[in-house]
């Protein structure tokens, strides 16, 4: 399976590989931002903890959706 994914990536054009890397980068940015909002106490956001967890969880769910879309577009 991993070998098929690597072959599929190598067959892509330069533009498609760049967009793949960009998609992975933004997935990681949203994931880290969600975790920072949830667990970094000194982050200068004036929010109640329940709203911080809800907003962080929303960002993590959004990053998961982006990751699933990235995986599905890579399979084609």
Q: What is the 3-state secondary structure (H, E, C) of the chain?
A: CHHHHHHHHHHCCHHHHHHHHHHHHHHHHHHHHHHHHHHCCCCCCCCCHHHHHHHHHHHHHHHHHHHHHHHHHHHC
Query: Tokens 């667990």 appear where?
Result: 39
Tell me, what's the pLDDT at 5?
63
pLDDT at 6: 67
To the question of pTM greater than 0.85 for the whole model, the response is: no
Section 40-47 average pLDDT: 83
**Whole-number average pLDDT of the chain:** 85
């Amino acid at each position: 399976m991993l070998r098929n994914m690597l072959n599929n990536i190598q067959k892509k054009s330069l533009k498609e590989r760049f967009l793949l890397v960009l998609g992975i980068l933004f997935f990681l940015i949203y994931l880290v931002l969600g975790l920072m909002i949830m667990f970094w106490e000194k982050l200068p956001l004036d929010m109640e903890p329940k709203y911080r967890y809800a907003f962080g969880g929303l960002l993590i769910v959004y990053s998961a959706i982006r990751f699933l879309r990235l995986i599905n577009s890579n399979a084609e």
